[in-house]
Amino acid sequence: MRDAVTNLIKNYDVAGRYFDRNAIDSLKSYFESGTKRVQAAGAINANAAAIVKQAGSQLFEEQPELIRPGGNAYTTRRYAACLRDMDYYLRYATYAIVAGSMDVLDERVLQGLRETYNSLGVPIGPTVRGIQIMKDIAKEQAEAAGIADTSFVDEPFDYMTRELSEKDI
């Protein structure tokens, strides 16, 4: 897994360039936000079970057909698998928040996920909606932890939803 620093170094190394002002500013911004990133991840981790439970409840309230007979979260096993997946997305989102890089999401979550879900008949739309609900709740948790600017919390959740969403070819 790479973080914002190793990504920057890699990009400049491949180009055979020394750090310029933009690189230094990018590093400075990353390090200045480091404490906030760790605080946000800590607040999310401390409340992960509640976040997943609340997001699942909201998702199933918005889309009750998912838990009705024939729905993709119908039966205890499928319901539990849905919540397990939501927990998985939340955990990896916190890794990406701390790293300041979305590489961990590509490497550990997104590669092949859409194809797997399609082959299993798992609808992508509710998955995307569940991730967005978790983003809103995670931002609330970060704000409750005293973090004023929580825009960096959006990044991994928005990245996952963008990558999972249908793309025009």
129 is in an annotated binding site: no
Angle between helices 21-46 and 76-99 (to 10 degrees): 140
Q: Which domains does the chain have, with CATH numbers?
A: 34-164 (1.10.490.20)
pTM of the model: 0.89
Is 91 annotated to bind a ligand? Reply is: no
- pLDDT, mean of each 10-residue run, the chain (169 residues): 87 95 94 94 97 98 96 95 96 96 92 86 93 98 96 97 75
**Residue 72 among known ligand-binding residues:** yes
CA–CA separation, 82 and 52 (whole Å): 10
